Amino acid sequence: MKLKKDQIAPWGKELFIIQTGEWRAERPVLNIRRCQHCGCCWLVCPTSSIREKRDRFQIDLTFCKGCGLCSEECKFGAIHMEREEKQ
């Protein structure tokens, strides 16, 4: 039996295996001039792709699947979705 993981259960380090970023058809784009730092996007993001930096929020697209919740929930219209270009 060849086992790939040391863990006995599905929790621990190095377990982000599924590249959910590859599912993305639209990407969120943040307009930092409109952002009021309320953190609503950070709260609703299911993949924890909104990062809180010292003075502003940032979107990390690695695991963002493009669900659009952040854009939908932003009260200030600071996030809009843009179609991904075919590579």
1 binds another protein (CB under 8 A): yes
The β-bridge partners of 78 are none
- What number of other Cβ atoms are within 10 A of residue 44's Cβ? 14
Taking CB under 8 A as the rule, does residue 43 contact another protein? no
Window of 13-21, 26-34, 49-57, 78-86 that interacts with another protein by CB under 8 A:
13-21
Structure token pair of residue 64: 């963002």
Residue 21 as a binder of another protein (CB under 8 A): the answer is no
Q: How far is the CB of 26 from another protein (least distance, A)?
A: 20
- CA–CA–CA angle 28, 22, 57 (5° rounding): 30
Do the beta carbons of residue 66 and residue 23 sit within 8 Å? yes
Binding region for another protein (CB under 8 A): 1, 3-5, 7-13, 15-18, 20
